[in-house]
């Protein structure tokens, strides 16, 4: 902080509508805590922005005082990019407005909004945009990395529904990026992360959906997992776009529909959402029920907004999290063997491995259309290491890395950028593949001095 005078701080405070928090002040430590408890960073100041003027002021202040700059939306990013040490954090979490135009089917969303905020407003009109699977996730970070969720097979990646965005650049300018205005910037923010500026408003296309969907869980014992995964693999090609089925391997949580003796035992869970007519749901998911003999199942019509929150209890903030991820074109026998070996050796009861099924509409968009390039991905596989005690760090991280290495021969070699941890900077070219050089060029135009570098960083060429 030696570089910033108290008079400069006072001037910043007097020039904002939001709040400037400094170390030692009430609320500072709470403001620097984020979803992943492994991230423990100590910013010099946290600017809680109330609007675009505060964002511009904060960006200019960080640039003029040569301060590291981090941008916080939902604070959910696994790598902890929402925080920096000894710099300025732009905290956008109080900018939570979501405005729906039902006639035009558009949503105008501020960067502090969560999936729950968005769904609450959009579902009031029977509308939705593909988002993630945990309602406390921030819309901004999810979108900037590409974004996918339960309805992506029908409606594509989150960025495929992005119409425009307002972006504060490293120069402090506010630009409107769309297909017709700053189209290079618009292309880059659809998957390129927070590398190009601070988005202060997202405009999304909305799709008719709900309010009811048909879905739920079918839980099989781990002994049936190999056969079930082979059947899952075979069934994928015939599934309608309206159906998304994810496979999760873990110890059974104490779900009320599972017998007590099943709690804590290894299982494979098929989680599914059918977004067609709810009365067609039972026939749409019937094949999944035949993957094995369930120890429990819970299926039926439910509000889409409720299904979007179904996994929240397993993803609460405050635990220690470490992820490793691969994109898959299919599920090979060798991968199934590696999966079962890893689940037989879980280091913590909260650890899991999931296969997030996308494909369908996400694969019909050309690779060059958006910065997000991984259009050949049928499943985004994530090794979700999760535990509570720092003493378990080494063991749980080692388990995650071991399975990641064992699975590598069966993967595409690409990775979903939002699933990358902080030390995976070496995989950024893998994350962007054929779009990487174009992203470097756009970075050079809009952020040549790399002010926005607390992210999975795309470095400018200069």
Q: What is the pTM of this model?
A: 0.97
Percent of the chain with pLDDT over 90: 98
The stretches in the chain having pLDDT less than 70 are 1-2
The 3-state secondary structure of the chain reads: CCCCCHHHHHHHHHCCCCEEECCCCCCHHHHCCCCCCCCCCCCCEEEECCCHHHHHHHHHHHHHCCCCEEEECCCCCCCCCCCCCCCEEEECCCCCCEEEECCCCEEEECCCCEHHHHHHHHHCCCEECCCCCCCCCEHHHHHHCCCCCCCHHHHCCHHHHEEEEEEECCCCCEEEEECCECHHHHHHHCCCCCCCCEEEEEEEECEECCCEEEEEEEEEEHHHHHHHHHHHHHHHCCCCCCEEEEEEEEECCCCCCCCHHHCCCEEEEEEEEECCCHHHHHHHHHHHHCCCCCCEEEEEEEEHHHHCCCCHHHCCCCCEEEEEEEEECCCCHHHHHHHHHHHCCCCCCCCEEEEEECCHHHHCCCHHHCCCCCCCCCEEEEEEEEECCHHHHHHHHHHHHHHHHHHHHHCCCCCCHHHCCCCCHHHHHHHHHHHHHHHHHHHHHHCCCCCCCCCCCCCCCC
Query: 171: which residues sit within 8 A by CB, 6+ positions away?
Result: none
List the strands of the sheet with 69-72, edge to edge: 19-21, 45-48, 88-91, 69-72
Contact criterion met (CB below 8 Å) for 272 and 215: yes
Give which of 312, 311, 354 is closest to 331, Cα–Cα. Answer: 354
Largest CA distance in the chain: 69
Tokens read off for 160: 């495929």
Tokens read off for 176: 């409107």
**Per-residue pLDDT, 3:** 78
Query: 154: which residues sit within 8 A by CB, 6+ positions away?
Result: 130, 207, 241, 242, 275, 360, 361
Contact criterion met (CB below 8 Å) for 296 and 259: yes
Contact criterion met (CB below 8 Å) for 327 and 415: yes
**Per-residue pLDDT, 451:** 98
Phi, psi values for residue 340, rounded to 5°: -70, -35
Tokens read off for 409: 């021969």
Tokens read off for 354: 């999931």
**Per-residue pLDDT, 2:** 44
CA 441, chain centre distance (Å): 25
Owner of token pair 């509000």: 303
In sign, the C-alpha dihedral spanning 258, 387, 389, 37 is negative
- The domains found in the chain, sorted by start residue, are 18-91 (3.30.43.10), 98-209+435-446 (3.30.465.10), 212-419 (3.40.462.20)
Cα–Cα dist 143/161, whole Å:
10
CA 152, chain centre distance (Å): 13
């Amino acid at each position: 902080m030696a570089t910033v005078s108290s008079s400069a701080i006072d001037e910043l405070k007097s020039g904002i509508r939001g709040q400037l928090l400094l170390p030692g002040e009430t609320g500072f430590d709470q403001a620097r805590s984020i979803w992943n408890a492994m991230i423990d960073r100590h910013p010099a100041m946290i600017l809680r922005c109330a609007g675009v003027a505060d964002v511009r002021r904060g960006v200019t202040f960080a640039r003029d005082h040569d301060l590291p700059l981090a941008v916080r939306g939902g604070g959910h990013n696994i790598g902890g990019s929402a925080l920096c040490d000894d710099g300025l954090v732009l905290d956008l979490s109080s900018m939570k407005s979501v405005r729906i135009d039902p006639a035009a089917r558009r949503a105008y969303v501020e960067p502090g909004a969560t999936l729950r905020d968005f769904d609450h407003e959009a579902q009031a009109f029977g509308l939705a945009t593909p988002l993630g699977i945990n309602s406390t996730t921030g819309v901004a970070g999810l979108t900037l990395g590409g974004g996918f969720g339960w309805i992506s097979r029908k409606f594509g990646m989150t960025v495929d529904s992005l119409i425009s965005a307002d972006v504060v650049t490293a120069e402090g300018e506010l630009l409107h990026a769309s297909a017709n205005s700053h189209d290079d910037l618009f292309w880059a923010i659809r998957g390129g992360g927070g590398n190009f500026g601070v988005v202060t408003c997202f405009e999304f296309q909305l799709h008719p959906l709900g309010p009811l969907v048909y879905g739920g869980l079918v839980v099989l014992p781990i002994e049936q997992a190999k056969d079930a995964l082979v059947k899952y693999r075979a069934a994928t090609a015939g599934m309608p776009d309206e159906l998304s089925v994810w496979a999760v391997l873990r110890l059974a949580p104490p779900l009320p529909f599972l017998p007590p003796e099943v709690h804590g035992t290894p299982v494979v869970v098929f989680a599914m959402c059918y977004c067609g007519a709810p009365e067609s749901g039972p026939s749409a998911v019937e094949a999944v029920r035949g993957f094995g003999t369930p120890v429990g199942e819970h299926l039926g019509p439910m509000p889409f907004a409720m299904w979007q929150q179904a996994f929240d209890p397993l993803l609460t903030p405050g635990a220690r999290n470490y992820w490793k991820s691969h994109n898959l074109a299919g599920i090979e026998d060798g991968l199934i063997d590696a999966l079962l070996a890893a689940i037989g050796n879980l280091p913590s009861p909260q650890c899991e491995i999931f296969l997030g099924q996308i494909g369908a509409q996400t694969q019909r968009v050309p690779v060059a259309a958006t910065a997000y390039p991984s259009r050949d991905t049928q499943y985004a596989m994530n090794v979700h290491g999760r535990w509570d005690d720092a003493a378990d760090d080494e063991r749980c991280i080692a388990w995650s890395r071991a399975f990641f290495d064992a699975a590598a021969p069966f993967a595409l070699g690409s990775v979903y950028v939002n699933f990358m941890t902080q030390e995976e900077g070496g995989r950024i070219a893998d994350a962007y593949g054929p779009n990487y050089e174009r992203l470097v060029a756009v970075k050079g135009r809009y952020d040549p001095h790399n002010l926005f570098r607390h992210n999975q960083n795309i470095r400018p060429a200069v």
